[in-house]
Amino acid sequence: MGHIYYAKPSITELEVRYAADAAANGWGESCYGYISRLEEAFARHLGVKHAIATSSCTGALHMGLAALGVGPGDEVILADVNWVASAAPATYLGARPVLVDILEDSWCLDPRKVEAAVTDRTRAIIAVHLYGNLCDMDALLDIGARRGIPVIEDAAEAIGSIYRGRRAGSMGAFGAFSFHGTKTMTTGEGGMFVTDDDSLYEKVLTFSNHGRSRRQPRQFWPDVVGFKYKMSNLQAAVGCAQLERIEELIATRRRVFAYYAHHLRRLPVRMNPEPAGTVNSFWMPSVVADPDVSFERDALVEAFQAADIDGRVFFWPLSMLPMFPNRPENVVSRRISARAVNLPSYHDITREDQDRVIDLVRSHIRKGSTQ
């Protein structure tokens, strides 16, 4: 039995060919060729006007928040259960992340808690589509519109997810994506900023080039202090190939999830939801044990490790980390995080390997079941 990774990319001859071409020919006047091609193709895929390739999703969020004017003393609302990269960019700008509780079903932002957390210092709401699950965008956009607060989509994990006919990342003031090596679409490291807002696009484009506006006629003359979050042409070449295969890559993730869901359906657990009117890309299949079941997450993770399987714990509530204020009132976040694991998912995982994972989940849920 071989090692089972929790995630790995799908790389074919097409990615290798494009990367080799970029390495051999993507210099001088052609140094942005694959970058421009990726940006244009990604914007078309998402149905938005503008896309800017970045070195990470974190960089895309940082520049977007800066372009919205987020600064010292401001507050940015987001869900407590998230990877730290969703909250960190606000702190770079001197703002304070306000961590609110999640919904039981989607594990994403609870709109009621968002509304209650809004103050006169709130400058943005970050809707993170966790593990491919979709936030309640209708409710969040309504709050944003009524309170005059931009809603941002962190779609790092949600390429391929669709909310009522619109792709994740295309609905907010701006969207941010990750192309890390574990994601459905990868460039190794990398990300994308997307928006329909012409003014916001121009600001982020300027920020992304060390503050040099594309309309500035003087060479090496920045108009503001900017950032360096550029994607390389070599990375973009891989991204172009991945984007040509995106429907195949998404379909594979959904097929892997469907196999897990079918074989775990009789256990007292919940998995990633797909409400009516939505499509979940199921980037990371997750299992949450029911509250009335005795379940030891760490014991299951240790069993995975002993079986040469890369299982992952669910994200910790950020309010449990030492750099953020403690929020014990976020009871749903703490309960779900403690009773959940992520299951391995990648393009060429075999049914036999999935069965190994399923058998371990079954054994640990059944051992502790009170039913």
Active site residues: 183
Q: How far apart are CA 160 and CA 321, in angstroms?
A: 30
Comparing CA positions, the residue from 257, 353, 367 lying closest to residue 307 is 353
DSSP β-ladder status, 174-178 and 151-154: parallel
The two beta strands, 162-163 and 166-167, are antiparallel
Phi, psi of 71 (to 5 degrees): -155, -165
SS (H, E, C) 254-291: HHHHHHHHHHCCCCCEEECCCCCCEECCCCCCEEEECC
The residues, any chain, with a CB within 8 Å of residue 163's CB and separated by 6 or more, are 134, 137, 171, 277, 278
Bridging pattern class, strands 122-128 and 151-154: parallel
Q: Which of 158, 117, 165 is nearest to 140 (CA)?
A: 117
Tokens of 332: 């749903």
Closest by alpha carbon to 334, among 97, 100, 24, 5?
Answer: 100
